[in-house]
């Protein structure tokens, strides 16, 4: 199989990089180290180290929700973000980073207000979206900027 047919996906649970055939994304591929599902249409919680690995090198676009537990709009948007994750399964991975637990990451990313959504593709930031949004807006945002 040519290398171009495989995507690098970082496991949100253990941080291990995995090579996954593009044609197998719909088959719920698992991490070769810890067995966690890599593409399951669910939102994964990131820590600082895994955030950097995922945003700098994943083969699928990654949308990160920068949030905090005390933020009302963040809590309101959480179920909408989860709906969008399910709808975008196989197209993009949706993940969350708690800015209260990881202030150094939010400072480095230039987060000035939350919730803040940043879309990463091929190791670079490609677009931002501020404020709580319904699932339809999140899906449209990813599809517009992920290509």
Q: Which residues are catalytic?
A: 71, 74
- Are the C-beta atoms of residues 21 and 5 closer than 8 Å to each other? yes
Q: Please list the alpha-helical segments (H only) found in the chain.
A: 48-57, 72-87, 103-108, 135-145
Phi, psi (deg, nearest 5) at residue 15: 85, 5
């Amino acid at each position: 199989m040519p290398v171009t047919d495989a995507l690098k996906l970082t496991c949100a649970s253990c941080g291990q990089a995995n090579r996954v055939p593009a044609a197998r994304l719909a088959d719920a591929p698992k991490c070769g180290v810890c067995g966690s599902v890599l593409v399951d249409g669910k939102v994964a919680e990131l820590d600082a180290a895994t955030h950097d690995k995922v945003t700098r090198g994943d083969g699928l676009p990654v949308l990160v929700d920068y949030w905090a537990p005390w933020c009302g709009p963040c809590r309101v948007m959480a179920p909408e973000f989860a709906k969008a994750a399910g709808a975008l399964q196989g197209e993009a991975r949706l993940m969350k980073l708690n800015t209260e637990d990881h202030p150094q990451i939010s400072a480095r990313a230039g987060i000035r207000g939350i919730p803040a959504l940043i879309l990463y593709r091929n190791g670079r930031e490609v677009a931002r979206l501020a404020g709580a949004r319904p699932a339809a807006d999140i899906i449209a945002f990813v599809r517009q900027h992920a290509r």
